[in-house]
Chain A
């Protein structure tokens, strides 16, 4: 279960960012912002290595004492960042990958919506519903 989910555009501004609990939002915004540097590093490192198969899933970006941050970049250079609680050690790599897959599928549907202009903040209710399903439930 994620604590914070962010979708960041090609130009590195957020298209969608949501965190639970809503009190410490600024801290999560800051965490996501700093993780962008790590994402850039991974993308350029993969480019220099000239691998034939460059994966979209970037894996664990960096762990802090409370949280772990995972990254994923699409072919259109839109980045997804998921922050999960460190105490929740039961989350396996496969589960994180499936979360990113769901995010990517939902985002593709948003892109294909003719009423959505690329570059605008994401306001789709379906997307919000899918993200709520992945976030930690706060009582």
Chain B
């Protein structure tokens, strides 16, 4: 199916465009600029996540609790966006969830080992924003971070902010 790669390519170009924009204003990227790039990508993902959730939950009944919402994210949401489900969900039942994807779609083309490990976070920022936006529209404020130790598997850590 050719249409699956369209988003992959768009995402790659988005990441390189954001970094190029920052680099053009100064010569070199310091850590503050890198943080700006990551937050731009995360912000994009946030807005898209909100819209996607509005569309996806149109026909489904209300969610019983937080865990129910996280399961929805792991199954239906991940399938719609990344064409597969989350492989492993762990929680401490106190608002922290770890979503593990063993073959993350946006990382498979980069490498399958330790090569390019330091470039991986750029490609995860948008997806973190996606999850954060989805949860925010469902009513849960959260902080989402991602880490990669072995490509293409990655872990997203979601910490729900209790008010």
Question: When the two chains form their complex, are residues B50 and A118 in contact, meaning their CB atoms are under 8 A apart?
Answer: yes
Judge whether A55 and B61 touch: CB under 8 Å.
yes
Using an 8 Å CB-CB cutoff, how does the interface string of B33-72 with A read, 1 for contact, 0 for none?
0000000000000010011111101101111100000000
The 8 Å CB contact of A74, one of B51, B52, B54, B64, is B54
Q: Is the CB of B54 within 8 A of A114?
A: no
By a CB distance below 8 angstroms, the chain A residues around B52 are: 112
A-B CB contacts (within 8 Å), total count:
49
> Are B139 and A112 in contact, CB atoms less than 8 angstroms apart?
no
Q: Is the CB of B63 within 8 A of A75?
A: yes
Q: Tell me the nearest residue of chain B to A112, going by C-beta.
A: B51
Instruction: Tell me which residues across on chain B come within 8 A of A114, comparing CB atoms.
Output: 47
By a CB distance below 8 angstroms, the chain B residues around A105 are: 58
The count of residues in chain B whose C-beta lies closer than 8 Å to any C-beta of chain A is 17
Interface residue tally for chain A (C-beta within 8 Å): 21
Q: Mark each residue of chain B from 137 to 148: 1 if its CB lies under 8 Å from any CB of chain A, else 0.
A: 111000000000
| Contact between chains at B61 and A76 (CB < 8 Å) | no
Cβ A76 vs Cβ B139 within 8 A: yes
> In the assembled complex, how far is the CB of residue A58 from the closest CB belonging to chain B, in whole angstroms?
11
- A: residues with CB less than 8 A from B are 10, 46, 50, 52-56, 73-77, 104-105, 107-108, 111-112, 114, 118
Could you show 10 A-B contacts with beta carbons less than 8 Å apart? A54-B64, A56-B61, A56-B62, A74-B54, A75-B58, A76-B54, A105-B58, A107-B54, A112-B55, A118-B50
